[in-house]
Amino acid sequence: MSNCGLNWNREFDCKLCPRLAASRTLIVFPTPCPPGGLLAIGEAPGVEEDEIGEGFVGQAGRTLDTLLVRHGLERNRDYGVANIVRCRPDGNRKPDKTEIANCLLWLSAFLLRTRPRVLLLVGSTAAEVFLGPGPLHWQIERSRNSPVLLAKDAHPILQPAIRRLHGAVDGIFAIPMPHTSGMAWNRRVSNGKVWREIGEEQVELAVECLEFSHAT
């Protein structure tokens, strides 16, 4: 047993959340980015991810790939992917607070192991976990003024890992963006813009942060 309460022997057969352990087909493990790279983090695996055990392979994941490829970034070479929870919730429900807290133990350990410098937070669940409660459009506005991730805003389970990451480099960045599913993507926000345009702008901001971090 590790000092963070995780039993490493159980990572490949985790049953910390009984309902998720029962509903999943496969645990979807994160794929790392190179150290100092970009990690895209979503909420939970979808149906296709659950079946093949790989994250961001459904339509929403492919949309994100397309956006990042436009900026010259390729998955596994330049960026990695992860989810807040590793098991697919039944009926595509939102994972509950306990499930999120359970799986953040694994995510904290993964962040420390892989040391990303830029987090691209896809959808409101990932944004809330790292940036605190609040509507996504507000989180997005705030990141445009200051994209640096503050440990105090994050879920308490993540805070020690974020502090350690900050200690190793000159700050890590967190950029929230709307979920890339077709339905969410084509909705309009109150200022008349479609989420897709905002998503594209946020990806651009994440790439700028990555370039900045490579230059420092």
State the minimum distance, in angstroms, from the CB of residue 86 to ligand SF4.
4
In whole angstroms, the minimum distance from the beta carbon of 175 to ligand SF4 comes to 24
- Per the structure block, which two tokens stand in for 19? 């309902």
> Which tokens belong to 117?
């410098």
Nearest distance from residue 214's CB to ligand SF4, in Å? 31
Token pair for 185: 């993507």
Minimum distance, C-beta of residue 101 to ligand SF4, in the bound complex (Å): 9
What is the C-alpha separation between 151 and 168, in angstroms, rounded? 14
Using the rule CB under 6 A, is 14 a contact of ligand SF4? yes
**Residue with smaller CB distance to ligand SF4, 83 or 139:** 83
Per rule CB under 6 A, is residue 129 in the interface with ligand SF4? no
Contact residue for ligand SF4 among 68, 103, 121, 205 (CB under 6 A): 103
Q: Quote the distance between the C-alpha of residue 88 and its chain's center.
A: 15
Please give the sequence-ordered ranges of beta strands (E in DSSP) within 27-186, or none if there are none: 38-42, 79-83, 118-122, 173-177
Cβ distance to ligand SF4 smaller for residue 73 or 85: 85
Separation CA 92–CA 95 (nearest Å): 9
- Using an 8 Å Cβ cutoff, are 75 and 68 in contact? yes
Does residue 93 touch ligand SF4 according to CB under 6 A?
no
Alpha carbons 138 and 79: distance in angstroms, whole number: 26
Residue choice 32, 75, 80, 102 for contact with ligand SF4 (CB under 6 A): 102
27 makes contact with ligand SF4 (CB under 6 A):
yes
